[in-house]
């Protein structure tokens, strides 16, 4: 008789939302091939780790996760299987990491996402092949709307990955070497996937790619503006959030589409990385300060209430005190709604790693902290100005004390939150009208607004 007990998978997903989508696709592939899924590693037969590797801290997270997987496997090494997938395999082209972890049974790169169930089955059937790796150095895989996908996010939000890879070749970034060149998906396929997610209960659709504003540059089959208008035409109640735009590719056409499409949230994640022209040139950002400020002006003029999130890098090779002071004054001038800072760390095999005008790690960290102190004051001031105002808030979680949600100005997990109390009759996924009654630097405190005519 056939075995009715499926092999159980425990999945660990590391890194950014783009990697999370890969994990969702892997899980979907495994489920349709007859594997089971468990949230308890002690019930698992197979432990899968989807890794991130674009900076050293991400690789350290991956190493720690692999060590945890090795410990899990040691309880029953004859029957338990450890699989490592994703960006770390693409980064580890000389396979040094692979040799450090001989306990890993299978290593698979990005192009082998659709073949993961078969590769696992092969190793299970023939343990003599344990430890084998599968990787194409120039990945070309791109999923579509027909690809099985198991949603790991909260039911009311999902990420829609509109492309893969990157052609920008910023001097500090290893992403093109890890994830390959730009590959844009087809607009009809994206519409179908969006419709499927919305039918499943998604109310917030978050568009992601390495650079969403480069969408279509490789294929010529439409632009981000075209995609937004196509998604706008879906007859359903949902919103669209945009992450990972590039200032060099944010065209007037895209800004106009953002303004015209009512489903597009007035929010944009626009990493700028620096503002001093010599550093923008050294970073290969293909944009100048004047062009950045012109773009910011267009955004604010066309969409007055837009919330802009950005990130900067401090301590990049060649960053002088004058460059850093310019960055500080720029942050004070534009008062971004949301802002993050990374202190520079060199990535091997990137052009910036060869630059000789290095800034000490201590200086880079200190400068990052100084920028965040400035941003903390800006954020507190902006939050104080919101007290007494009313907002629609999407609810992500509810506990006994309060509900936790987000305004249109906040993307999940990376931006600010709103604590709402009392939380009676509020459930995750609800969109609730609230009045802001207090704040801290990165949180708002609110109370629900009673519907007109309510006696309670």
Examine the domain organization and report whether 164 and 211 are in the same domain.
yes
Domain-embedded: residue 435? yes
Helices (H), 220-262: 224-232, 252-260
Domain-embedded: residue 275? yes
Examine the domain organization and report whether 364 and 219 are in the same domain.
yes
- Calculate what percentage of the chain has a pLDDT beyond 90: 91
Domain-embedded: residue 148? no
1 pLDDT tier (thresholds 50, 70, 90)? very low
For the full predicted model, state whether its pTM sits above 0.75: yes
Domain-embedded: residue 151? no
Q: Domain of 392: which CATH number?
A: 2.40.50.140
pLDDT tens, residue by residue, 139-166:
999 999 999 999 999 999 999 999 999 9
The pLDDT of residue 214 is 98
3 pLDDT tier (thresholds 50, 70, 90)? low
Sequence-separated (6 or more) residues with CB below 8 Å from residue 369: none
The pLDDT of residue 129 is 76
Two tokens, residue 154: 């909260």
What sign does the dihedral 139-144-148-150 (CA atoms) show? Answer: positive
Domain-embedded: residue 86? yes
Q: What is the rounded end-to-end Cα distance, in angstroms, of the chain?
A: 61
Q: Provide mean pLDDT across the span 203-228.
A: 97
Query: Within a 10 A sphere around the Cβ of 124, how many other Cβ atoms?
Result: 16
Domain end position, chosen among 384, 404, 430 = 384
Two tokens, residue 118: 């078969």
The pLDDT of residue 128 is 74
Examine the domain organization and report whether 185 and 130 are in the same domain.
no
- Calculate what percentage of the chain has a pLDDT beyond 70: 98
pLDDT tens, residue by residue, 337-396:
999 999 999 998 899 999 988 999 999 999 999 999 999 999 999 999 999 999 999 999
Domain-embedded: residue 152? no
Comparing CA positions, the residue from 415, 426, 411, 429 lying closest to residue 383 is 415
Q: How far is CA 454 from the centre of its chain?
A: 40
Examine the domain organization and report whether 330 and 298 are in the same domain.
yes
The pLDDT of residue 400 is 86
The pLDDT of residue 454 is 36
Examine the domain organization and report whether 240 and 305 are in the same domain.
yes
pLDDT tens, residue by residue, 85-129:
999 999 999 999 999 999 999 999 999 999 999 999 999 888 777
Domain end position, chosen among 331, 362, 384 = 384
Two tokens, residue 330: 């720029």
Integer Cα distance of 18 and 237 in angstroms: 24
Sequence-separated (6 or more) residues with CB below 8 Å from residue 382: 335, 337
Integer Cα distance of 365 and 344 in angstroms: 8
Comparing CA positions, the residue from 114, 87, 85 lying closest to residue 25 is 114
Integer Cα distance of 92 and 42 in angstroms: 29
Q: Are 405 and 396 in contact (CB under 8 A)?
A: yes
The pLDDT of residue 11 is 97
Examine the domain organization and report whether 375 and 405 are in the same domain.
no
Integer Cα distance of 81 and 338 in angstroms: 42
Q: Which residues pair with 58 in a beta bridge?
A: none
Examine the domain organization and report whether 376 and 393 are in the same domain.
no
Integer Cα distance of 176 and 372 in angstroms: 29
pLDDT tens, residue by residue, 61-83:
999 999 999 999 999 999 999 99
Examine the domain organization and report whether 194 and 310 are in the same domain.
yes
Examine the domain organization and report whether 196 and 303 are in the same domain.
yes
Structural domain of 338: 157-384
Q: Are 259 and 298 in contact (CB under 8 A)?
A: no
3-state secondary structure string, 64-119? HHHHHHHHHHHCCCCCCEEEEEEHHHHHCCCCHHHHHCCCCCEEECHHHCCCHHHH
Q: Domain of 228: which CATH number?
A: 3.80.30.20
The pLDDT of residue 455 is 36
Examine the domain organization and report whether 379 and 399 are in the same domain.
no
Q: Is the pLDDT of residue 138 over 70?
A: yes
Q: How many CA atoms within 13 Å lie on the side-chain side of 19? A: 22
131 pLDDT tier (thresholds 50, 70, 90)? confident
Examine the domain organization and report whether 58 and 187 are in the same domain.
no
The pLDDT of residue 37 is 97
Domain end position, chosen among 363, 384, 405 = 384
Q: Domain of 26: which CATH number?
A: 3.40.50.12160
DSSP string, 165-226: --S---TT--HHHHH-S-EEPPHHHHHHHHHHHHHTT--EEEEE-S-GGGTTTTT-S--HHH
Domain-embedded: residue 420? yes
Examine the domain organization and report whether 342 and 396 are in the same domain.
no
Looking at residue 43, the DSSP 8-state letter turns out to be G
The pLDDT of residue 127 is 78
Domain-embedded: residue 419? yes
Q: Provide mean pLDDT across the span 249-253.
A: 98
CA angle 120, 125, 131 (to 5 degrees): 55
Q: How many domains does the chain have?
A: 3
Integer Cα distance of 234 and 214 in angstroms: 23
The pLDDT of residue 453 is 36
């Amino acid at each position: 008789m056939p075995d009715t007990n499926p092999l159980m998978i425990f999945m660990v997903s590391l890194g950014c939302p783009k990697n999370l989508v890969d994990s969702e696709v892997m899980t979907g592939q495994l489920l349709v091939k007859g594997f089971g899924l468990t949230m308890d590693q002690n019930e698992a037969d197979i432990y899968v780790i989807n890794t991130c590797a674009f900076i050293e801290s991400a690789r350290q997270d991956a190493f720690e996760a692999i060590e945890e997987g090795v410990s899990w496997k040691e309880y029953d090494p004859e029957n338990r299987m450890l699989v490592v997938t994703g960006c770390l395999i693409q980064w580890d082209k000389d396979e040094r990491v692979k040799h450090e972890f001989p306990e890993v049974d299978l290593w698979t790169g990005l192009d082998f996402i659709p073949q993961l169930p078969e590769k696992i089955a092969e190793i299970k059937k023939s343990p003599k092949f344990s430890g084998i790796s599968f990787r194409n150095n120039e990945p070309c895989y791109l999923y579509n709307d027909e690809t099985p996908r198991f949603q790991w996010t909260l039911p009311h939000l999902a990420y829609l990955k509109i492309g893969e890879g990157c052609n920008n070749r910023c001097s500090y970034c290893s992403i093109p070497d890890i994830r390959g060149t730009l590959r844009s998906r087809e607009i009809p396929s994206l519409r179908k996937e969006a419709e499927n997610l919305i039918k499943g209960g998604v109310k917030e659709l978050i568009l992601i790619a390495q650079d969403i504003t480069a969408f279509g540059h490789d294929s010529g089959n439409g632009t981000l503006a075209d995609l937004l208008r196509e998604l706008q035409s879906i007859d359903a109640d949902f919103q669209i959030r945009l992450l990972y735009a590039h200032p060099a590719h944010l065209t007037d056409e895209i800004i106009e589409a953002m303004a015209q499409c009512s489903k597009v949230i007035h929010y944009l994640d626009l990493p700028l990385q620096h503002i001093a022209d010599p550093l923008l040139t050294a970073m290969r950002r293909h944009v100048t300060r004047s062009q950045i400020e012109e773009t910011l002006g267009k955004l604010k003029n066309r969409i007055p209430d837009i919330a802009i999130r950005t990130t900067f890098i401090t301590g990049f090779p060649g960053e002088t005190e004058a460059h850093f002071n310019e960055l500080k004054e720029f942050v004070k001038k534009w008062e971004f709604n949301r802002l993050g800072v990374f202190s520079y760390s060199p990535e091997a095999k990137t052009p910036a790693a060869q630059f000789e005008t290095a800034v000490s790690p201590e200086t880079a960290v200190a400068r990052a902290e100084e920028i965040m102190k400035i941003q903390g004051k800006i954020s507190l001031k902006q939050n104080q100005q919101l007290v007494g105002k009313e907002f629609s808030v999407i609810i992500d979680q509810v506990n006994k004390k309060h509900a936790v949600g987000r305004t249109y100005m906040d993307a999940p997990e990376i931006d600010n939150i709103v604590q709402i109390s009392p939380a009676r009759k509020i459930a995750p996924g609800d969109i609730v009208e609230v009045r802001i009654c207090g704040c801290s630097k990165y949180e708002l405190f609110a109370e629900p607004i009673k519907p007109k005519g309510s006696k309670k």
